[in-house]
Every structure is written in C-alpha cells, then in structure tokens.
Structure 1
C-alpha cells in the first residue's frame, strides 16, 4: 500500500435504498380513494395533505395531483347527479302523499305509489 493512500473500504458501498416518503404513500392512497364512491372526499383530503407535505419537502408527487383532479371531478359529478335526482324524488313522494296508494295517471305521467316504494313514468 502506497504511503498516503486511503485504505479500501471493508465492503462495497451501495447507494442508499430508495424509500417512499409518507407524502408519497398518502398521495397513492388518496388517488385510489378518489375512485371509490363517497370515499372520494377522503381521497381529496389525503391528496391535498400529500401535496402540501411533498411541496414542503421539495418532492414531486404526481399521485397527489392526480388524486386531487380525479376526486374533484367525481365529487362534482356526484353533486350534479344528486342535484338532478333529489328534486325528482321529492316531487314523486309529494305526489304519492297527495294521491295515496295505487296507480294514478296525472296528465301524461303515471304514478305508482305503494307502502314499500314509489315510481313514476312520463308517457310521451
């Protein structure tokens, strides 16, 4: 060994193992939950938290961004569907309450009102 040379390391060095951060895991979980019914609200919150944590750590988090986008769109779609359906059901139940049990034709709409469920069909 030459004078002034550093001794060889006792074992070969490896680069440190790549580990996922908490923010990345939250981003993935939020992304997955964004697709599941009413769990998409939880997915949106987790994705936002993951994005904030990633930004503070100086990391990128594509899953968090995708989770925010998917959850936002699905929440908006569910809200629009409910905004259309709820008034229809309210009208149906009000009419059945007014008409009573049985099948009733009012104008071009047939209402079927029973104790276990109600429906209406617009004819024409």
Structure 2
C-alpha cells in the first residue's frame, strides 16, 4: 500500500547512499541600503528609475502669501476698524510682493477705512453733544445759583 502523501519512489535509494539535496531556492532580493560613507553625488544603483526633478516655479496649489492675514483683517475690520485697516494693508503688500491678488485684503482696507471714518464722525458728534449738554448745565447753574435744583422735566441737578 502506498501513502498518497509520500508516493513510493520508482527506484529506492541504494543502501549507504546520501539522500538527495533539497531543491535550491533563489535567494531573497537584496535591498539597496544607503552606504554609510558614500558621497552624496553618487546615487545608489537600483533597478528602479529615479524620480523626475521638481518643476520650476511655485507649485499650483501653493498658498497665496498674505491671504490668511487678509481674511483675518477682513473680520477684524468689523470690530476694530483701525487694526483691520492696518492688517489689510500688510496683507495686500505681502500678496503684491509675491505677485498675487488678494481680494480679502482689499475688502478689509475698504471696510476698515469706511468704518474708521464713520467712527470718527460718531465720536465727534458725541463729543459735541456732551459739550452742548455741559454748557446748558453751566448756564442753568449760573441762573439759579449753587445747590440742588429740580428742573421742570424732573431732572435733579447739583450746582457747585
């Protein structure tokens, strides 16, 4: 009876002979490791082609210098117009030096300057109203004299 796992050899080995050597397998491929003291100019030889050199100029998806600062300036110009105006100018200068347009920075400059003018007008109006009110109080005190007085509208004024 023959074993299906180990079929009988057609010719049994002679007594005292050496069994045949196992079949030879190919050695695993050698991996190229960088030499320890190899000069940088000599690349390691391998079977693979080298990568192409990078293209000249800036890559297509490179960030525009000053764009992030332009967005920040745009947002800040709503709350602090002078700071937004300054940041917008800085962002626009950075972008122009790199040869790019920056709409965020331009919008921040426009909004910052408009809000700054509006702020100046409001401050001037409030100061003039406060000065007019102080002049009216001084005139009232000059007419009635020192002490605590109540006006016809129910306002209590203390004159020195």
After TM superposition, is the score higher than 0.5?
yes
Larger helix share, 1 or 2? 1
TM-score tier after normalising by the smaller chain length: 0.5 to 0.7
Q: TM-score, normalised by structure 1?
A: 0.64
C-alpha contact (below 8 Å) 1:34/1:67 kept by paired residues:
yes
**Match in the other structure for 2:89:** 48
Residues 46-77 of structure 1: CA distance to partner in whole angstroms, max 9, x if unpaired? Answer: 00011011101111111000000111111111
RMSD: 2.7
- State how far apart, in whole Å, the 2-side matches of 1:53 and 1:95 are: 52
Larger strand share, 1 or 2? 1
Q: Which runs of 5+ in 1 are unaligned?
A: 1-5, 10-15, 105-109, 116-124
Q: TM-score, normalised by structure 2?
A: 0.51
- State how far apart, in whole Å, the 2-side matches of 1:114 and 1:34 are: 41
Q: Which runs of 5+ in 2 are unaligned?
A: 1-47, 52-58, 142-148
**Match in the other structure for 2:134:** 93
Structure 1 or 2, whichever has the larger Rg, is 2
Q: How many residues align?
A: 97
